[in-house]
A and B are shown apart, each in its own frame.
Chain A
Amino acid sequence: MSSVATTPAAGEIAGLSPRKRKVIKALDVFGLIATVITVLGAIFWAFPLYWAVVTTLKVENDIVQPGIQLWPQRFTLDAYTHVLFNTKIGTWYINSLVTAASVTVGVVLISSLAGYAISQLNFPGRRILWWIILASFMIPIPALIVNHFVLISQFKLFNSWLGVILPQLVYGPVTVIIYKQFFDSVPRELREAAKLDNANEFQMFFRLYLPMNWGITTALAIITFIGAWNQFLWPFLSVTNEQMMNVTVGITQVTDAFGVKYARDLGSAILAGLPVAIVYLIFQRRVTEAIMLSAGIKG
């Protein structure tokens, strides 16, 4: 296949400089096809995002015109200024930040402790507990919603941060499983050395196992934070007071209060997603590095 492609190319490039000839020869036909497919895929995936951003910069009247306008005729930031100054998005951000951060700290702490206990401690029922955690992995979260609703209602925690946070703490069986596997792979001698070094279980956990797996903790924390920030169903059900809404729920209020205005809807959606995108962009390299570091410790 490659010889079919390169033979005519060699004839065509006879008059070119040796450097250019080399470059063209180096072109791998399969690589080219793969690149084209990837670029097309990326465009296909990114187009809705592009369309949303471009729409928020258009005048509302231009948006509803028939036909496709790939670039705004008239630029405006009205949609953003409206969402920022005429809605409670600041409060929603704070609610989202507090609940997502609390869920992250809670999930990481509980999962790492559970993973450590199952991986390193000998206690009656350890195996059964492990099976229960594995089994809970199979249950879709929405199936628990009614339970959560009744519980939170009985605790009278609707319209509170705690009511949003608590049910989300059980979303972490996969985090427990990952922690257990990482703790399992810590060499046995390190634990024995720590035993001889007078370390109790808390010192072993907080000074050895957790710091040695810092990479995976960072990665899990970021993933949990993004998941908690993007959570919609439970915050939507557990909060009716606009003052206590998360940003994902709050942006639905923009539509309700002001009718269908596409630029505002999309503007609020973009503002809701922006912090998460920034968090990921900032920590993207750290997540990769952190995972590689964890792998290095085990080497």
Chain B
Amino acid sequence: MADIRLVNVSKHFGQVRVIENVSMTIESGEFMVFLGPSGCGKSTLLRMIAGLEDIDGGEIHIGDRRVDQLPPSDRQIAMVFQNYALYPHMSVRENMSFGLQNIRMPKDEIARRVAAAAKTLELEHLIDRKPGQLSGGQRQRVAIGRAIVRDPKAFLFDEPLSNLDAGLRVRTRIEFAQLHQRMKTTMIFVTHDQIEAMTLADRIVVMNNRKIEQIGTPMEIYNRPASRFVAAFVGSPSMNFLPVQKISDRDGKVLVKLPDNSEIQTGIAAARLPGDGNVTFGIRPESVKVSATGAISGKADVVERLGERTLAYVRLADNSVVIAEDEGQSRLNVGDQVRLDIDGAAAHLFDAKDVAYSAA
């Protein structure tokens, strides 16, 4: 178990910069998730930590050792690949033993470790099968087993759930959480799926366009996004963004006037906002309720019944669309006129540079 420190790490492929001056510390035993859309550089960052990509600037430390000039095998980390990368001609046992044989570990110790990992991952009955004879979920477990037997200082997972079907993905996600609780080893997990990130992570690194947008606990990221990108990327359905006609100061907090002239009192301190008043209003769908007494009115364009709640896509007078929530047994129909009640205390504002402001 060790902490991982990145100091001003950069990487470019030819003229294209893929990672720019990234710094972060992943604490010992922490489950860190790199979250971001395709091409944001999260997998490259993971591969740089693993040693599969060279870095062009900065330093990487694992524990008390600087490792950025060391080959992958000397970094004492284990990695699980997106497509598992199991050796197709070797049995499950051989797949797990291969790395240990290469460092000339005694045979009885290899056998002991493989047996222990197989037991932990419930692979004992599959131990002599080849990867081609296993299901996706079983292959996934073998790949994890291959990582566990090495007893690494940190585990790196590169989108390990993306090849599984929806049901298995949820089950395996829970297994990952249990595995981390049991092993208490430093883990880095790369995903583009915000639900995986929210459910698994101790902390999340949200990345976009080669840079870190925000590092924080799942609830910090959700409740206090640092930028408009983070606010839009995390949460499903996505946050509503509305143009703002005018802002004013009421009792030190920002009062927002929307294009339809409705006013919303936020919990955001007016003094923190930039002076130009050029802001966008953001509110998550669960903070916009369909209510007979609501201040804003519009027409329901689409109604999605999800069982425990109903989502209504409401078109406002200025033609912008807001996603609002109603109860599961809602009688709302498409075309109905609805009134919306917005919880201003949960609102966010974003300035012209997309920096976010949330209630303290």
Contacts and interface: CB of A to CB of B under 8 A. Distances in A.
Nearest to A211: B89
A223 interface: no
Query: How big is chain B's contact interface, by range?
Result: 20 to 34
Contact of B87 (A195, A196, A212): A212
A208 interface: yes
B88 A195 contact: no
B72 A208 contact: no
> Which among B51, B72, B77, B82 has the greatest number of chain A C-beta atoms within 10 A?
B72
A207 B95 CA distance: 11
A195 B85 contact: no
B50 interface: yes
Interface string A165-190: 00000000000000000000001011
A121 to B, nearest CB: 15
B102 A197 contact: yes
B99 interface: yes
Interface in B111-140: 132
A196 B78 contact: yes
B209 interface: no
B21 interface: no
Contact of B73 (A196, A207, A211, A214): A196
Given A190-B87, A208-B87, A214-B89, A198 B102 contact: yes
Nearest to A196: B72
Contacts of B86: 193
A203 interface: yes
A192 interface: yes
Nearest to B53: A192
A194 B71 CA distance: 12
A199 interface: yes
A8 interface: no
17 contacts: A187-B83, A189-B85, A192-B52, A192-B81, A193-B79, A193-B81, A193-B146, A195-B71, A195-B73, A196-B73, A197-B98, A197-B146, A198-B102, A198-B103, A212-B87, A212-B88, A297-B88
Closest 4 A-B residue pairs measured CB to CB? Answer: A197-B99, A189-B85, A193-B85, A198-B102
Given A192-B72, A194-B87, A196-B50, 10 more contacts: A192-B81, A193-B81, A195-B51, A196-B72, A197-B99, A197-B102, A198-B102, A207-B98, A212-B89, A297-B89
